[in-house]
Amino acid sequence: MVINHRNGELRKDKTTFGIIDAQSVQNADSASEKGYDAGKKISGIKRHIIVDSMGLPHALLVTTADVTDRNGAIQMIGLNINDLCHVEKFLVDGGYSGVTFANAVKELCGADVEVAKRKCKNGFEVIPQRWVVERSHGWIDKFRRLWKNCEQSLHNSLQMLVFAFIAILLNRF
């Protein structure tokens, strides 16, 4: 394991912590592939994302909205297993809770799953570390072509998401 000296701290060269989330996005009339997310009452697509503690993406997947968060996350981890093999822990929200999901992630990449719980039941509350992935969703919502899904295929939607993160990274660094 190589250790880099960055900002006066010793850090590992590979990410060992990931935050998983999904975002349902409404389709425009031109989009051909869509599903219905009954929880959010949205007909469209779902963007699944894994970010590190800085909000930088390590895995992306676009599915129809009817794919559950858990199934989309397992599919995303499976497709990006080489990039995620050093991850030791994933932080998720309540939509990913369950022993079945945790066991599937452990089997795929050997990582543990921690579910971030809210302290109060009513109202909005910022959950420490979870805001990072929400901020990443906010970054991509600033791109005109991404606030609503206008692409014909899921592959094109994924590529637009990749282009948006490239632009974000180029502007930040």
Q: Sketch the domain layout of the chain as residue ranges.
A: 3-116+127-172
pLDDT, tens digit, 9 for 90 and up, residues 128-156: 778 889 889 888 888 888 888 878 889 99
pLDDT, tens digit, 9 for 90 and up, residues 61-104: 999 999 999 999 999 999 999 989 899 999 998 889 899 999 99
- What local confidence, expressed as pLDDT, does residue 100 receive? 95
CB 113 within 8 A of CB 105: yes
- What local confidence, expressed as pLDDT, does residue 128 receive? 72
Residue type at position 29:
D
Q: Kindly state the helix (H) or strand (E) to which residue 91 belongs, with its residue range.
A: strand 89-92
Q: What predicted TM-score, i.e. pTM, was given to this entire model? A: 0.85
Structure tokens at 134: 């929400």
- What local confidence, expressed as pLDDT, does residue 2 receive? 47
Residues 6 or more apart whose CB falls under 8 angstroms from that of 96 comprise: 20, 69, 70, 73, 113, 115
- Residue closest to 64 by CA, chosen among 114, 118, 24, 120: 24
Structure tokens at 40: 């959010």
Q: Domain 3-116+127-172 adopts which CATH fold?
A: Nucleotidyltransferase; domain 5 (3.30.420)
* Residue 108 binned pLDDT confidence (cut-offs 50, 70, 90): very high
